[in-house]
Structure 1
Amino acid sequence: MSAGCVDFLCDLWAATLAKHDDKPPFADHKDLYRVIDSTPLGEVKWQSITCTYEGEKPDVNAPPWMNDVYDVWYRDPREVIRNMLANPDYKNEMDYIPYREYNAKNDDKREWKDFMSGDWAWRQADEIAKDPSTHGATFIPVILGSDKTTVSVGTGHTEYYPLYVSVGNVHNNVWRAHRDAIAIIGFLAIPKSKSYHIFEYSVL
C-alpha cells in the first residue's frame, strides 16, 4: 500500500473515532513505518545501514547504480543464531559433534544424512581441536544463502534479495519442516540498471 493510501486510511479511521473522542494508533504513514521499524521480530530487532559503490567509475556515462545509495536491512546474525541454538524444540534434533555413520547391514558402507555427518565438518573439528583452549567447545557451522526471490520492504519502491541463515547442527528434517531453523537476517538492495550496463561491466 502506498504512503498516500495509508494516510487516507488513517484519516478515515480517525473520522470514525472522532465521535467517541478517540483517535487511531497511527497518525499517518510515517508513524506507522516508525512503529514497524522499531518492532522486534523473533526477539532480534531489525536495523539498517546505507552503502554505496566505491570502486572505479568511468569518467563519463557512469551507470546510475554506481552513484546511488542503497539501504541494507539486517538483524544481528549472532543473536539470531543464538536463538536457534537455544530453541528447546531442537533438543533431540541437533548434533553437537561431527560423526561418521556406517550401515552394518550393508557391508559397513558409509552413510551421509545430516550436515554434521560430512567429511568437511569432521575436518573442521579436527582443525579446531588442535587448540587446547577449544576442547569441550561445539563447532557451529553457519550456512548463508539467498535466492532470486524479490521482496518489497516499507514503501514497496525498492526490491531486495532476502538473505537467509541457518546452522549445520540441526537435522535435515527440521529444515524441511520449516521450524524456524532457517531465518531471514537481511534484505540486500537490488541495484536498478539497464541491461546494457550490466553487460558492459560484466565484460570488463
Structure 2
Amino acid sequence: DDQILQGYEILGPFKSKDEWELAKWLIKNVGHTQMEEFLHLPIIQKKVDPAYPTKDKLLNAIDALPQGVDWKLENITLTGDVLDEEGNAMKEELELWYHDPVECIHELMGNPIFANVMKYTPEKVFETNSCESQIINEMWTVEWWWKVQVSL
C-alpha cells in the first residue's frame, strides 16, 4: 500500500523489476532442486545478489504476495449420455473450483492498480448496427452485470 501511495512500481518483496522477472521465470520454468542450485551459483550470488538467496526464501516471498480472492471447491455429479451395462446414464464425480464473482468484483474495484481502467456500468456491444449478434468478451458485457445493477 505504501508503494502505491508513493507512486512507486509495485514489486512486493522484490528489489527491482528485474528481480521480480527472474523470480517469476524461476517459478514457471525451473524445478525446486535446479532453483536451489541456480540461486547458489557464485555468479548469481555475487553479481545478481537477489533478495532471495535460497529457494525457500524465494517461495516464502512468493507466498507472501497478496493472494486475491479465495478459491472455493464444490463436488458435483454430472450425468452423461453414455449408458452403463444396466441401461442407466453414467455419472461422474468432479471437483469444481471457482471464485465467487461478487468477491472478485470487490477485490478488483478496491485495487488502485485498476482505478483508471475500471468500468462501473454494464454495456451491450453488438457486432453490427442491427443488434442481432451481441459480443460478450468482458465482464461488463454479460447479462449478469445488468441483473446485479437492478438489485443495487
What TM-score, normalized by structure 1, do the two folds share? 0.28
Higher share in helix: 2
Higher relative contact order (CA 8 A, sep 6+): 1
What TM-score, normalized by structure 2, do the two folds share? 0.35
